[in-house]
Structure 1
Amino acid sequence: MKQTQRIKLGLAGVVAIGALLGTTALTFSASPVWAEDQKPASEASKQKDAGQDFFTKPQSVTSNGSVTVHGAHIEYQAVSGTLIVHPKGWDDSASADDEKDKKPGAAASIFYVAYFKKGAAAENRPITFIYNGGPGSSSVWLHMGAFGPKKVVTADDAHTPAAPYSIVNNNDSLLDVSDLVFIDAPGTGYGRLTGTDKEKAFFGTDADANAFTDFIAQFLSRYGRYNSPKYLFGESYGTTRSAIVANQLADDKGIDLNGVILLSQILNYDNDIDAAQMNPSVDQPYVLSLPSYAATAWYHKRLPTQPADLKTFLQEVEHFALTDYTSALQDGNAITPEKRDAVAQKLHDYTGLPVDYIKKADLRVNGGEFEKTLLGDKGIDTGRLDSRFSGPTMDQLAQYPYYDPQSSAMSSAYIAAFNDYARNSLHYGNSPAFGNGYQEYKFFSDAIMKWDFSHKQPNTDFPIHNAVNVLPDLASAMKHNTSLKVMLNQGYFDLGTPYFQGIYEMRHLPVSYDLSKNVQIVQYESGHMVYAHQDSLAQLHDNVAKFITSTYKPTSAAK
């Protein structure tokens, strides 16, 4: 369901080489009610204007629901809607007269779905902002697969059969410990971009982070949640975004966070294994991806000798990767034949790839090549985002897979489930503001093809136009707020953002040894979407819930 990921990481490699969410109170009812700022025009002559207003003014629809989480029954109020954000530097004090002769400035209506537990005091109820990555992805995956009150049932490591799909109570929703706000990236969901140079204004690393920072500050004000414990939860490119947003919230908005929760991290794009071949002399991606290759080969039983315990096996592979393998790659063309043969044999033992193939690859096999080759003798490609999945190869002579078997296996289920849930439960998507009463929910935008990956790191005077590295941003946020806690969650079978890459990046955060103790790292026997594996989802819920409840202190009134 994230087929743009391959393109995204590929573009990141190219870049590396080339330069190398009105009022502050909520009103709910038993049936859906459109907020006053969204009241639709009833006359046909006003429908066009109302439709335009739909994307330039904040919208909201409220509904009610309940969920049972680990035996606890939770009544909640859901608010689905949009908030309007503008590019950084936009002046909200400009009068209409000042603006009437100007071209309309760029703006984004950002769609969100917020869940509020009924009867909870705001100051003692955490609120977590949740989003996926892409860049250019909606939050449907985390919403319907991980933490929303309803989830879609998908097959564990195989293609989910076509509709009808089951939408069930989510026993692992995070509503037991936190209110939740699922945010769709600009240009996705039911939100839209408007105005002059709209894509340029939002399709970029810093522009995107500015939009999310603005959205979160607006949301806290609109719904009176400034004094609530606050958390970010980002997946994939959403982790890149989180590092910047955490720092910007503190620096630009005066908002400290209690915690930043990362899922399937990529903070330094120089570590990208998909495009490593485009960056010769930088061998680190091969080192950091090797344990994930080994985990994948272990799962598919392609190792010459099958270890009984995965974690013990991976500890051995990690040690080899940082020692003998690193040494061999650093030798470059000066490596001796004996050392080359020994390392190639060891790579065969750990990955199951043929020794001759490893030698032809000069001991350097990138992500696409591994996915194509591991089960290539059977005419099968492994998944990239979750290598437990596999599927028929499109072209047995190709060097890389043409698709991601995991994405193909479950995308349809998520798309169908959310469209049904949004319209029939959230009552959003069939707005009376439109003559045809229908709006399209955009699961992805085309942002990746237009993305500006340049990034201005903290305490620098200008953007850097090479591969994105936001380790300084996260470090800055931790230094400004020394009580800020960071949690990293990873899947062993993730070839898009290999787990050892995340460990390496956390070990290299430019913070003191004492501050580094604020980082917690957890792995799961799953892939990029850790929650796609039911047992791992249950573990993820428990770990994140414990992280949230341990990183804020309730006020005395709640004790």
Structure 2
Amino acid sequence: MFRLFVITTTLLAASSAAAQEPPKAADRKDALTRTKHTVTIGGKLIEYEATAGRMQLKDDEGKATANIFYIAYTKSKEDAKKRPLTFCFNGGPGSSSVWLHLGTFGPRRVTLSDEGEALPPPAKLVENEESLLDLTDLVFIDPVSTGFSRAADEKNAKQFHGVQEDVQSVGEFIRLYTTQNDRWPSPKYVAGESYGTTRAAGLSNHLQGRLGMRLNGVLLISAVLNFGTIRFDEGNDLPFILYLPSYAATAWYHKKLSAEQQADLPKTLAEAEKFAAGEYTLALQKGLDLSESERDDVAVKIAHFTGLSKAFVLRADLRVEGQRFMRELLRDQGRITGRYDSRILGKDFNDAAERPDYDPSYASVQGTFTESFNAYLRGELKYESDMPYEILTGRVQPWNYGTATNRYLNVAPSLKTAMAQNADLRVFVANGYYDLATPYFATQYTVNHLGGDRKLRDRVTMAYYEAGHMMYAHKPSRLKLKKDIAAFYQP
């Protein structure tokens, strides 16, 4: 357990952000900055206060264990105790919260093309009309070793680098923030993206069972709760089945399907899902008992839905791993598709390679978000630090999977337990059709296997977008996402 520690060094807000003075160099390590701003959302001007800084965690003996960096936004001139409060984070493991922060939820947003690709440098921020700040106050959390968050003793940083260790430290931060800011009366939500959804599911049960904090809702953006659905391993046929509809969507987007399939994406995806869950599943289960004629017929159908050649599918033994698909689909054009967003293309270094050398969809945005965040933090929020801001780091590796070592991590039971014990807990899940990191059909599978009372499933809202892992990078999807989340926050 960690103990309460109140940071006493703060920088009080002046009448406007422009009037703020940055912390002195000696105070850069842990000073909080508070600045005042406005944003227009839905045609309404919203005044808010931004707080940036680090919160210290302590162990039972009162010894500092870590300093967690966060940025919080609270709407001004309202009773905070009645305002919803949402804690946000990304995944990795090893990612800061910058993606949800500057991509969709925060009051400032990185400028990208309408399709979600980077614009020429330098990067620019704009007012985010799709921010959630009209619905809820927001706290963006960087887990230990990401962003500016660090262990008090870097030699012992590994005590935070694991499934349960991460849930406990982020959970303790949430408890401390809620206590220090008198937010226990507020409706509370957690929102995670990618591995952040794994963390969110674990937190839902930890906060409620260990800390006595019930949540009103959990938002899962590009979810992975059961890692058996996405790990391409020998003997695990599940991912090959669950990725196939996303392959179909990708092939459709790049016009690699038949004219009939190209005419109607929803129809094509429905047919791909039916094949994947039926005939394809049965074929893979047969293994060597599959006859040559059956094998040939299934290969034809896989090629039909994926845009790949029958010969390639047969060479892959009917099992097309994600990286191989990204390399093979547009090989004839000398292009690779993105993993996070398969709409985004790149040029590989070796056209004969088996797998891509990099992910063009990540490369497209990584620099833009890094530039934007560093400029925003120092310019608008007046927070100074000489440390490098770890956007996505390998410092957390090797990650400790604890009881899930040598098996697939599955936190869906934690979410199910939290929902079973809290009848008012609702879940929102956002899925991108072109996401080849956490495919939408895999998430459907996980939700449909929560087990227990079927009424649990009725409290899960599934939403779909014609975009990738970061669906909010795509303008039409970002607009739809805000509309869907606004409906979810309604009582």
2:252 aligned with 1:298: yes
- Give SS of 1:450's match: coil
1:304 shift after superposition: 2.8
Correspondence for 1:307: 262
> CA-to-partner distance for each residue in 1:494-545, whole Å, 9 max, x for gaps?
0000000001100001331122211110110010001010110011011111
Pairs aligned (count): 484
Cα distance in 2 for partners of 1:529, 1:158 equals 9
2:435 aligned with 1:480: no
1:441 paired residue among 389, 392, 395 = 389
1:517 paired residue among 441, 458, 464 = 458
2:6 aligned with 1:22: yes
Cα distance in 2 for partners of 1:161, 1:176 equals 28
1:446 shift after superposition: 1.8
Correspondence for 1:76: 48
> CA-to-partner distance for each residue in 1:195-240, whole Å, 9 max, x for gaps?
2642221111111111110010000011111110000110000000
Code of the residue aligned with 2:56 in structure 1: it is I
Correspondence for 1:263: 221
Query: Does structure 2 conserve the Cα–Cα contact (< 8 Å) formed by 1:33 and 1:62?
Result: no
Cα distance in 1 for partners of 2:287, 2:76 equals 62
- Give SS of 1:116's match: strand
Query: Does structure 2 conserve the Cα–Cα contact (< 8 Å) formed by 1:106 and 1:196?
Result: no
Structure 1 segment 170-209 matched on structure 2, within 5 A: 170-195=128-153, 197-209=155-167
Cα distance in 2 for partners of 1:532, 1:337 equals 44
Cα distance in 1 for partners of 2:14, 2:116 equals 41
- Give SS of 1:285's match: helix
2:256 aligned with 1:284: no
2:332 aligned with 1:384: no
Structure 1 segment 78-477 matched on structure 2, within 5 A: 78-86=50-58, 90-91=59-60, 94=61, 107-157=65-115, 159-195=117-153, 197-272=155-230, 275-276=231-232, 278-280=233-235, 282-305=236-259, 306-430=261-385, 438-455=386-403, 465-477=406-418
- The 1:34–1:73 alpha-carbon spacing in structure 2 relative to 1, beyond 3 Å, is closer
Cα distance in 2 for partners of 1:510, 1:474 equals 11
Cα distance in 2 for partners of 1:189, 1:464 equals 27
- The 1:372–1:294 alpha-carbon spacing in structure 2 relative to 1, beyond 3 Å, is same
Cα distance in 1 for partners of 2:159, 2:351 equals 42
- The 1:116–1:409 alpha-carbon spacing in structure 2 relative to 1, beyond 3 Å, is same
- The 1:197–1:384 alpha-carbon spacing in structure 2 relative to 1, beyond 3 Å, is same
Query: Does structure 2 conserve the Cα–Cα contact (< 8 Å) formed by 1:454 and 1:465?
Result: no
Code of the residue aligned with 2:252 in structure 1: it is W
Cα distance in 1 for partners of 2:396, 2:290 equals 39
Cα distance in 2 for partners of 1:151, 1:33 equals 19
Cα distance in 1 for partners of 2:270, 2:370 equals 38
Query: Does structure 1 conserve the Cα–Cα contact (< 8 Å) formed by 2:116 and 2:474?
Result: no
Query: Does structure 2 conserve the Cα–Cα contact (< 8 Å) formed by 1:133 and 1:237?
Result: yes
- Give SS of 2:34's match: strand
- Give SS of 1:297's match: helix
Cα distance in 2 for partners of 1:164, 1:27 equals 31
Cα distance in 2 for partners of 1:414, 1:324 equals 43
> CA-to-partner distance for each residue in 1:451-492, whole Å, 9 max, x for gaps?
11224xxxxxxx654221101111111112121001110100
- Give SS of 2:118's match: coil
Query: Does structure 1 conserve the Cα–Cα contact (< 8 Å) formed by 2:247 and 2:306?
Result: yes
Code of the residue aligned with 1:520 in structure 2: it is T
Supply the RMSD in Å over aligned alpha carbons: 2.3
Query: Does structure 1 conserve the Cα–Cα contact (< 8 Å) formed by 2:86 and 2:137?
Result: yes
Code of the residue aligned with 2:460 in structure 1: it is V
Cα distance in 2 for partners of 1:372, 1:464 equals 30
Query: Does structure 2 conserve the Cα–Cα contact (< 8 Å) formed by 1:394 and 1:402?
Result: yes
Cα distance in 2 for partners of 1:538, 1:489 equals 13
Query: Does structure 2 conserve the Cα–Cα contact (< 8 Å) formed by 1:453 and 1:467?
Result: no
Cα distance in 2 for partners of 1:251, 1:473 equals 10
Cα distance in 2 for partners of 1:408, 1:497 equals 18
> CA-to-partner distance for each residue in 1:371-420, whole Å, 9 max, x for gaps?
00000111110000000001101212221101001011111111111111
- Give SS of 1:231's match: strand
Cα distance in 2 for partners of 1:521, 1:343 equals 30
Query: Does structure 2 conserve the Cα–Cα contact (< 8 Å) formed by 1:76 and 1:116?
Result: yes
1:130 shift after superposition: 0.8
Code of the residue aligned with 2:376 in structure 1: it is Y
Query: Does structure 2 conserve the Cα–Cα contact (< 8 Å) formed by 1:146 and 1:537?
Result: yes
Cα distance in 2 for partners of 1:330, 1:496 equals 24
Query: Does structure 1 conserve the Cα–Cα contact (< 8 Å) formed by 2:11 and 2:23?
Result: no
- The 1:403–1:387 alpha-carbon spacing in structure 2 relative to 1, beyond 3 Å, is same
Cα distance in 2 for partners of 1:66, 1:225 equals 22
Cα distance in 2 for partners of 1:106, 1:392 equals 47
TM-score (norm 2): 0.94
Cα distance in 2 for partners of 1:226, 1:177 equals 18
Query: Does structure 2 conserve the Cα–Cα contact (< 8 Å) formed by 1:135 and 1:447?
Result: no
Deviates more, 1:126-135 or 1:308-317: 308-317
1:185 shift after superposition: 1.7
1:122 shift after superposition: 2.1
- The 1:142–1:39 alpha-carbon spacing in structure 2 relative to 1, beyond 3 Å, is closer
Query: Does structure 2 conserve the Cα–Cα contact (< 8 Å) formed by 1:491 and 1:523?
Result: yes
Cα distance in 1 for partners of 2:19, 2:88 equals 24
Q: Any runs of at least 4 consecutive aligned residues in structure 1 with deviations exceeding 6 A, and if so which?
A: 23-26, 32-35
Cα distance in 1 for partners of 2:116, 2:42 equals 27
Cα distance in 1 for partners of 2:363, 2:490 equals 36
Cα distance in 2 for partners of 1:180, 1:530 equals 20
Code of the residue aligned with 1:205 in structure 2: it is V
1:154 shift after superposition: 1.1
Cα distance in 1 for partners of 2:134, 2:116 equals 30
> CA-to-partner distance for each residue in 1:226-272, whole Å, 9 max, x for gaps?
11000011000000000111100001110000000101011111111
Code of the residue aligned with 1:174 in structure 2: it is L
TM-score (norm 1): 0.83
